[in-house]
Structure 1
Amino acid sequence: MLKTLGFAIICLLLFGRCAQQVSPTGGKKDSIPPNLIQSIPLNKTLNFKENRVELFFDEYVVVDNITQKLVITPEADNPYSYRLNGTSIVLNFKKQFQDSTTYTLNFGDAIKDFAERNPAKNLKLVFSTGSSLDSGRVYGMVKDVQTNKPLFDALVGLYNPTDTLNPAKQKPFYFSRTDSSGVFSIENVQTRNYTMIAIDDKNRNMLFNAKDERIGFLSKPISAGVDSVSYNILMALSDNTPLKVQRTLPKVNNYTVVFSKPIEKVKVTFMNKDSLPYMIENGEQIKFFNVQPHSDTTLVKLSVTDSLETSTEFDQKIAFQAPRGKERQKDQFTISSRPENNRPLANSFSYRLIFNKPVQTIEDSKIELITDSLTHETLKNFKSTWNETHNELTIEGKSFAKDTIKWEIPKGSVISVEGDTLARTLIKHPVLNEEDFGILRGKVIGADTSKLYKHFIIELMDDQYKVIDRQYSSPYNFIHIPQGKYFLRLILDLNDNKRWDTGQVNKGIQPEPIIYLPEKTLIKSNFELNDINITLPKAP
Structure 2
Amino acid sequence: MKTSNQPSIRPDVLGAFYITRAMIKTLALAIICLLIFGRCAQEVVPTGGKKDSIPPNLVESNPLNKTLNFKGRKIELFFDEYVVVDNINQKLIITPEADNPYSYKQNGMSVLLTFKNEFKDSTTFTLNFGDAIKDFAEKNPAKNLKLVFSTSNTLDSARIYGSLKDIKTNKPIFDALVGLYNVTDTLNIAKQKPYYFSRTDTSGVFSIENIQSREYKLIAIDDKNRNMLYNAKDERMGFISKPIKAGSDSASYNLTMFLSDNTLLKIQRTIPRVNNYSVVFSKPIEKVNVTFMNKDTLPYLLENGGALKFFNVQPHPDSTLVKLSVTDSLGTVTDFDQKIAFQAPRGKERQKDPFTISTMPESNKPVTNTFTYKLILNKPVQFIDDQKITLITDSLTHEPLNAFKYEWNTNHNILSISAKSFAKDTVKWDLPKGSIISVEGDTLAKMLLRHPILKEEDYGQIKGAVINADTSMRFIVELVDEQYKIFESLYSSPYTFRHIPQGKYFLRIIVDKNRNKRWDTGELDKDLQPEPIYYMPDKILLKANFELNDVNITIPK
Task: Give the alignment's TM-score, normalised by structure 1.
Answer: 0.91
Deviation at 1:31, TM superposition (A): 4.6
Q: Which amino acid aligns with 1:476?
A: Y
- Give the SS at the match of 2:77: strand
Task: Measure, in 2, the Cα distance between the counterparts of 1:464 and 1:202.
Answer: 22
| Aligned equivalent of 1:356 | 378
1:425 to 447, 450, 461: 447
| Counterpart selection for 1:519 from 538, 550, 553 | 538
Correspondence for 1:383: 405
Report the residue type matching 1:534 in the other structure.
Answer: I
Tell me the equivalent position of 2:119.
97
For 1:20, the equivalent position in structure 2 comes to: none
Aligned residue number for residue 504 of structure 1: 523
Matches within 5 A, 1:104-503: 104-447=126-469, 449-451=470-472, 453=473, 455-503=474-522
Residue aligning to 1:531: 550
Give % identity: 73
CA distance in 2, matches of 1:24, 1:322: 81
Q: Distance in 1 between matches of 2:84 and 2:550?
A: 60
Aligned equivalents of 2:205 and 2:172: distance in 1?
Answer: 8
| Counterpart residue type for residue 184 of structure 1 | F
Please state how far the C-alpha of 1:126 moved relative to its aligned partner: 0.6
Change (3 A) 1:170 1:24: farther
Give the Cα separation in 1 of the matches to 2:481 and 2:99: 49
Deviation at 1:27, TM superposition (A): 5.5
CA distance in 1, matches of 2:113, 2:107: 11
Deviation readout 1:274-319 (Å, 9 max, x if unpaired): 2111001111111111111112121111111111111111111211
Cα distance change, pair 72–445 in 1 and its aligned pair in 2 (3 A): closer
Alpha-carbon distance between aligned partners in 2 of 1:29 and 1:391, rounded to the nearest angstrom: 67
Aligned counterpart, 1:11? none
CA gap 1:43/1:446 in 2 versus in 1, 3 angstroms: closer
Partners in 1 of 2:71 and 2:393 — Cα distance?
A: 86
> Any idea what SS the aligned residue of 1:506 has?
coil
Name stretches of at least 5 consecutive residues in structure 2 with no aligned partner.
Answer: 1-44
Report which stretch shifted further, 220-229 or 154-163: 220-229
Aligned partners of 1:403, 1:273: CA distance in 2, in Å?
Answer: 52
* Matching residue of 2:8: none
Give 1:66 deviation, angstroms: 2.8
Task: From the superposition, tell whether residues 459 and 101 of structure 1 become closer, same or farther in structure 2 (CA, over 3 Å).
Answer: same
Deviation string, structure 1 residues 164-208 (Cα, Å, up to 9, x no partner): 111111111111111111111111000111110111111111111
C-alpha separation between the residues in 1 aligned to 2:51 and 2:273?
Answer: 62
Q: CA deviation at 1:140?
A: 0.9
Aligned: 1:52 with 2:74: yes
* Contact residue 159 and residue 251 of structure 2 kept, 8 A: no
Q: Does the Cα contact within 8 Å between 1:442 and 1:530 map onto a contact in 2?
A: yes
Whole-angstrom distance in 1 between the partners of 2:547 and 2:99: 64
What secondary structure, in the 3-state scheme, does the structure 2 residue paired with 1:380 have?
helix
Quick one: distance in 1 between partners of 2:135 and 2:343? 62
Alpha carbons 1:138, 1:225 under 8 Å: kept: no
- For residue 82 of structure 1, report the CA deviation from its aligned partner: 2.3
Q: How far apart are 1:121 and its partner, in Å?
A: 3.1
**Does the aligned pair in 2 maintain the 1:372–1:401 contact within 8 Å?**
yes
Structure 1 match to 2:30: none
Name the larger-Rg structure: 2
Change (3 A) 1:79 1:445: closer
**Contact 1:494 / 1:512 at 8 angstroms: preserved in 2?**
yes
Return the offset for 1:502.
1.2
Q: CA RMSD in A?
A: 1.8
Report the count of equivalent residues. 513
Structure 1 stretch displaced more, 61-70 or 504-513: 61-70
Q: Name the CA shift for 1:304/1:25 in 2 (closer, same or farther; >3 Å).
A: farther
Question: In the TM superposition, what is the alpha-carbon distance from 1:161 to its structure 2 partner?
Answer: 1.3
Matches of 1:186 and 1:63 in 2, distance apart?
24
SS at match of 1:67: helix
Letter in 2 for 1:69: K
Q: Under a length normalisation based on structure 2, what TM-score does the superposition of the two structures give?
A: 0.89
Which letter does structure 1 place at the counterpart of 2:471? S
Distance (Å, rounded) in 2 between the aligned partners of 1:355 and 1:401: 27
- Tell me the amino acid that sits aligned with residue 327 of structure 2: T
Q: Distance in 1 between matches of 2:386 and 2:47?
A: 77
Q: 2: CA distance between counterparts of 1:311 and 1:470? A: 27
Cα separation, 1, equivalents of 2:84 and 2:556: 53
Match in the other structure for 1:72: 94
Give the distance between the partners of 1:327 and 1:491, measured in 2 at CA.
53
Are the structure 2 counterparts of residues 121 and 259 from structure 1 closer, same or farther at C-alpha, using a change threshold of 3 Å? farther
Amino acid at match of 1:487: F
Instruction: Compute the displacement of 1:63 (Å).
Output: 2.8
Q: Find the aligned partners of 1:239 and 1:64 in 2 and give their Cα distance.
A: 35
- TM-superposed deviation, 1:491: 0.4
1:49 to 1:321, Cα distance in 2 relative to 1, 3 A: same
C-alpha displacement at 1:29, in angstroms?
5.3
| Alpha-carbon distance in structure 2 between the residues aligned to 1:519 and 1:489 | 11
Contact residue 384 and residue 393 of structure 1 kept, 8 A = yes
Tell me the alpha carbon deviations over residues 106-140 of structure 1, each in whole angstroms, 9 at most, x when there is no partner. 22333333344443333221101111210100111
Distance 1:313 1:57, change over 3 A: same
SS of corresponding position for 2:471: coil
CA distance in 2: counterparts of 1:276 and 1:138, whole angstroms: 58
Contact 1:385–1:394 at 8 Å: present in 2 too?
yes
Using a 3 Å threshold, how does the CA distance of structure 1 residues 30 and 248 change in structure 2: closer, same or farther? Answer: farther
Q: Is the 8 A contact 2:87 2:132 kept in 1?
A: yes
In the alignment, what sits opposite 2:19?
none
Instruction: Return the offset for 1:223.
Output: 1.2
> Hey, what's the Cα distance between the residues in 2 that align with 1:243 and 1:109?
41
Q: 1:488 to 1:38 in 2, by over 3 A?
A: same
Shift of 1:357: 0.3
Determine the C-alpha separation between the residues in 2 that align with 1:388 and 1:24: 79
Structure 1 residue 419 displacement after superposition: 0.6
Match for residue 16 of structure 2?
none
SS in structure 2 of the partner of residue 507 of structure 1 = coil
SS in 2 for 1:501: coil
- Displacement after TM superposition at 1:24 (Å): 9.2
